[in-house]
Amino acid sequence: MKGSKVFIVFEGGEFTGKTTQIKLLAEKLRAVGREVVVTKEPGGTPQGEKFKEQILSGTLSPKEELKLFLQDRRVHIENVIVPALSDGAIVLSDRFSDSTLAYQHYGRGLSLEFIEHEQHLVGGITVTPHLVLILDMSPQEAFKRAQLRGEEALSIFERENIFFHHRVREGFLQIAQTHPENHVIINAHQSRAAVARSIWETVEEKFIL
């Protein structure tokens, strides 16, 4: 693994613990001597933050929302992901292309044909993650945990009804089943420590740390 290009993506529904687990994995990887770049979608670049502002404004149609996500991804890949990988860093991203399918296709109902058409229009470099960790948890449990933590300001996605979140969860599971070669489902119902252990074991096994 040392010196090789490694791109790891964390996916999953709202409040499944992605941000916390990315931080924990980054700390462990740095502890074994690896350079780590932690990033996110949307908003992993200055331009991306502007895209994120527009996306979360709640004023866009699903199609407009998709177009901004795709533009954000192009900027993200070209300005953060590819340069970091070229420098030999491990890139950990909070969300990537699977979120587009889970949220915009399964959640919003946009057709795969339309999504593919828009991706073609945006163009740019294509990057495939070496590992996608899907933190899986029932939406009811995820939102219950968020309430216990005192989460108050909800984004436009977090405010969607429970049926939307179930569709998104099913989308992630379907994607993982379709691409077992680089997708691993992590049971996020476990304790924070247990989830971190499962993630570390998966990364260790795949990349031979």
Global pTM reads 0.94
CATH of the domain at 142: 3.40.50.300
Bridge partners (DSSP) of residue 12 are 135
Question: What are the tokens at 182?
Answer: 């680089």
- Has residue 32 been placed in a domain? yes
Under DSSP, is residue 167 helix (H, G, I), strand (E, B) or coil? helix
Bridge partners (DSSP) of residue 9 are 93, 132
Domain that holds residue 26: 6-207
As a whole number of angstroms, the distance between CA 132 and CA 163 comes to 24
Q: What is the mean pLDDT of the chain?
A: 93
- Has residue 196 been placed in a domain? yes
- Has residue 166 been placed in a domain? yes
pLDDT interval class at 17 (50, 70, 90): very high
Residue 151 has pLDDT above 90, yes or no: no
By C-alpha distance, which of 33, 55, 64 is closest to 156? 55
As a whole number of angstroms, the distance between CA 84 and CA 70 comes to 20
- Gyration radius (Cα) of the chain, Å: 17
Asked if 91 contacts 8 with a C-beta cutoff of 8 angstroms, the reply is yes
- Has residue 1 been placed in a domain? no
Residue 10 has pLDDT above 90, yes or no: yes
Q: How many domains does the chain have?
A: 1
As a whole number of angstroms, the distance between CA 49 and CA 200 comes to 30
What is the tens place of the pLDDT at every residue in 21-73? 999 999 999 999 999 999 999 998 999 999 999 998 889 999 999 999 999 99
What is the tens place of the pLDDT at every residue in 168-199? 999 999 999 999 999 999 999 999 999 999 99
- Has residue 157 been placed in a domain? yes
Residue 102 has pLDDT above 80, yes or no: yes
- Has residue 186 been placed in a domain? yes
As a whole number of angstroms, the distance between CA 26 and CA 36 comes to 6
Residue 150 has pLDDT above 70, yes or no: no
Alpha carbon separation from 17 to 3, 28, 94, 157 (Å, rounded)? 28, 17, 10, 16
Share of the chain above pLDDT 70, in %: 95
- Has residue 133 been placed in a domain? yes
Alpha carbon separation from 33 to 30, 90, 132 (Å, rounded)? 5, 11, 22
DSSP string for 51-73: HHHHHTTS---HHHHHHHHHHHH
pLDDT at 104: 97
